[in-house]
Each structure stands twice: as C-alpha cells, then as structure tokens.
Chain A
Amino acid sequence: MKPVEPFLRAALKTAWIALRPGQGAEPLLPLLAEEGWQVTHCSDSVPTLLRELAIVPQAPDLLITGLHLADGDALELSRMLPALREPPAVFFLSRQQRSVVKSAKALARTLGLVVAGSADFPFDPAEAMNQIRSNVRQRGLQAMRARPVPPLSRDEVSRLFQDGGIRAYLQPKLRARSGEVVGFESLMRGVARDATVVAPSRLLEPLAEAGLLAPATLQIVEQTAEFLREGLCAGMPVSASVNLTLGLLSNRDFCHSLVKTVERVGLDPSWLTIEITETEAMSDIATVIENAARIRMLGFNLSIDDFGTAYSSFSHLMQIPFSELKIERAFVSGMGGDATKEALVGACATIGARLGLHVVAEGVETPSELAAVRAAGCTEIQGFLVSRPRPAEDALAWMRDLPDMRFELPEA
C-alpha cells in the first residue's frame, strides 16, 4: 500500500457520505478512517445537501454519493457542485448499469470536478479505496497546480520567437509489436532565455495573434528535417511528423515554404508526415483537400490526428489521401478492461488496416494500455510509457543508445 504523502494527508481528510446508513456504504467507512479521513453522513436530498455545502466554512474533500438521491440525482448535483469555491471530489456508489455510471463520471469530469472513482454493488471496499487514494492524490497535485499559467503576451511570444526560442521536442513512436523505434512526433515548445519551457497551450494562441504561427511552424519543420537528416546519416531509419493546423494547410504560401524548407535540408519528403488535427472547423475544405493532395503528391505522408474526436472523421477519410491514422489519447487512456474504449479503438484499427494505413495509439502510459492497443490491432504506439517529448539532441542520443533501435516494452 502506498503511503499517503504527509502534506496531502493534512490537506485532504473530510469525506461526506450522501447515502443513508444501511444503503451500503458501510464497508468503506473503516478503510477511510484508517487512512485519516473524517467521515460524516450528510443529507441525501439534493437541495438540502447543497444548502449544507453552502453553509459549512469548508466543503468536504470527498463526496460519496449514489446516483439516485432522495429528491433528485447525482447528475443534477454534479451540475451544482462547481459553483462551490472548492468543490469536493466525487465517488459514485450505485446499482445502476455501468454505462450510466460511466456517463455520470464523464459529466462530472466535463464540469471540471475531480472524479474519485465509482463502484457498483456488491463492491470490493479495498478496490474502491485504491481508486480514492490514487485519484485524490492526483487532486492534491492538481490543487498545487491550481493557479493556471496564462498564455504568453504578444510581446513575450514575439521576443521568444526572435530569440530562436521556438524549439521542436520529439516524442518517439514505436512499432507496437517489436518495440522498434520507427519515428517521432515533433511538438512545439517555447524555450525562454532562462531555460524555462513553455507548453503549446500557452504558445499557439499568442503566436497566431502575433501573426507568427506560420513562421514558427516552419521553424519546427526545419528543426525536424535537420533532426531526421542527422539520424538518417547516422544509419538510423526514422521518420517524423509535424502538426499543422487546417488554417496553415489551406494557406498556399505556407505549403510552398514547407516544401522549400524540406528541399533545402536535402531530405526526401517521404520521411516526413504532416499531422492534421480535425478539432477546428474546416472553413475552406476545397483548399485543404487541394493542398493535402499536393503535399501527398510531393511525397510527404499525411496523418489524421485525434481520429474519432469530431463528427467529420469519416468524411475526411474519404476526401483526403491519408497514410496514417492516430487514435486520440482519451480513447487509449484506461482502455484495458473498458469495453467501450476497446471496441472503439478496435474499430478504428480495423478501418485503418482495411485502408492500408498505419494506426498509431497515442498516450500509451501503462503496460495494460499497451496490451490493450496491441490486442486492438494498433500498429504503432506513442506515450509516456516509452518517453516524454525530448529536445532534438536528447532524442538522438536516446535512440543511439538503444540496441538495434529497439526499446524494451514492459509486459502487462
């Protein structure tokens, strides 16, 4: 059993139970007490419970609730909780079918609540406690990170750009079966003068606002092409992918510069894959199709990123000559044992295989996820299980140190 970190033990200790005595939460109580939780029974009526929550000086850290409450349900309750200054993490204990419980958890997450876990009767209290322990620990970390760092200002991002601070970080992509490194995804990071690293979430929007997204993306393309040249010339057969917004893909000048950049480095474009994500609306679909087809004609590969997350996935597959399909991490995360995720990833992999595409599972973090994406038929994997994105020099050194470019993947 992992010890609870002391500062969290002090910070997180009150749990409210919105189930009446006899409704089945009892087996969990001694375990909670054993780990230092103060447990209180509260009302199981939604309005009363909300009133109680509003009155207390500090809301509990954890709320254990059924899905059906005395007058209302946990869905309604979830809707109201985010209004609290520090809403509790929620744990659902219920007799409902799993798909309903899953939706309740998805709703809570969507609303920004921490989901401590769920269990259906009869339940294993030790397993429930494991869920609470690991998710509540995460919550502690989240609380520490609670002050979100705002995006860079336009001036800051311009300075970063001028200082050459737009850097490609590379995350390896392996064959799912053999563990051979076959490529990398190139991700944009900002590296400030004091060496702090700026995440894309704080970078992309201000770059776009400052009119620098195209030149910054071209810098990533150039660094990625240089990285590949170095690897290939050292006898390591790797490809790499760069992310393009649809806006850039529908910009003729940009696409022209992209091709020129790769030519200048002397790289055969077939080592490069252009990943297009489909989260933005396609305003100019005709130009996107035109440029995508042209890029493919010139020898680049095309990848559909975050496949399955938008309504238009299938229609894009019909119109754009993709060579790779990447499965969004949300489908992969916690996939082992989740029948819905297994079915969805399996279906994506089947579509990919039928179309002769590479199928990459993103965000593989655990051996059980690895086993699940292998079983589903994904051909390649990427994720923290193998490596975080690294600066180009580190990525080259990492790869050079692998025997025969093979990474030893753990067994589930």
Chain B
Amino acid sequence: MNANSPVALVVDDNAINRNLVMHMMRRIGWETVAVESGERAVEVLKETRFNLVLLDLRMPTMSGEETCRRIRVDLGQRELRIVAYTAHGMPEERARMLASGFDDLLIKPISFDDVRAVCAKAAPAPVAAQSA
C-alpha cells in the first residue's frame, strides 16, 4: 500500500460489486479494503481509520442504513464520510438517506465521474495511478 494514498472501505455483499468499486478506486489513485457485510465493516472500523466508506444499502443481514447508524452512534465516528451506493434514486429516498447519516449518494447507473466526484469530496485528488 502506498502510504500517501487515501483509503476507502467498501462494504458490499456482492463480490462483483466489490471488485468493480476496488477497480475504479484504484484507477483514481485510492487504496481499498473490501468487506462483505455491515457487521464486518463495524469491526474493521474499530481498528482502522479510513478516508471514506462506500456502503451498499441492500445487504442481507445488516442493512446499509443500520450499518451507518452503528458507525455514527456506536463507534461515534461522526466525521467519517459515508457514501451510500444504491440503485434507488427517488428524490424522497435521497432525502431519507441524507437524514439518516449518510454524507452522499452514488446512484446506479454510475460513471467514473460520479465516483471521482464522491472521492474528491473525501480527500484531495491523488495522482491518478494508471489509465485504462
């Protein structure tokens, strides 16, 4: 791991999705750690500091919303940037997500620009690692 790179925690029960996000983040110069559940995310966050958490909302055991609540309340990490990523983009859902402790939303279909924008808010843009 490059010591200067910002690091994101990717939380998704779907392996293809974890793979995708890690791939995209690497391209814009981020390091990633990926876990497959909200429970695991809470454990990892007790030990390690991250610049950003990307949280899938739809997970079978602990939902993204509940995970976010635990990070904020149980772990007391109120400053950590948490971004929900989801296929649901209805305006009222967006408002609900922001009210329940998320800093931002990534709504599918997503593009590189979306990911870049979300990451730029969490940490200044590092040198792009590699191109496609």
Contacts and interface: CB of A to CB of B under 8 A. Distances in A.
Contact of B27 (A182, A235, A271): A235
B24 interface: yes
A188 interface: no
B15 interface: yes
A238 B110 CA distance: 7
A178 B16 contact: no
B124 interface: no
Interface in B8-38: 12, 14-17, 19-20, 23-24, 26-27
A338 interface: no
B99 interface: no
A232 B16 contact: yes
A182 B19 CA distance: 18
B87 A299 contact: yes
A233 B111 contact: no
A403 interface: yes
Interface in B81-131: 86-87, 89-91, 108-113, 115, 131
Interface residues of A, number: 29
Nearest to B24: A235
Given A178-B111, A232-B19, A266 B14 contact: yes
Contacts of B70: none
A301 interface: yes
Given A323-B89, A356-B91, A239 B109 contact: yes
Nearest to B15: A266
Contact of A267 (B16, B90, B115): B16
A227 to B, nearest CB: 12
B26 to A, nearest CB: 8
A301 B87 CA distance: 8
Contacts of A236: 20
Q: Which 5 A-B pairs have the closest CB atoms?
A: A235-B23, A270-B87, A182-B109, A180-B111, A268-B14
Interface of A: 175, 178, 180-183, 229, 232-239, 266-268, 270-271, 299, 301, 323, 356, 358, 400, 403-405
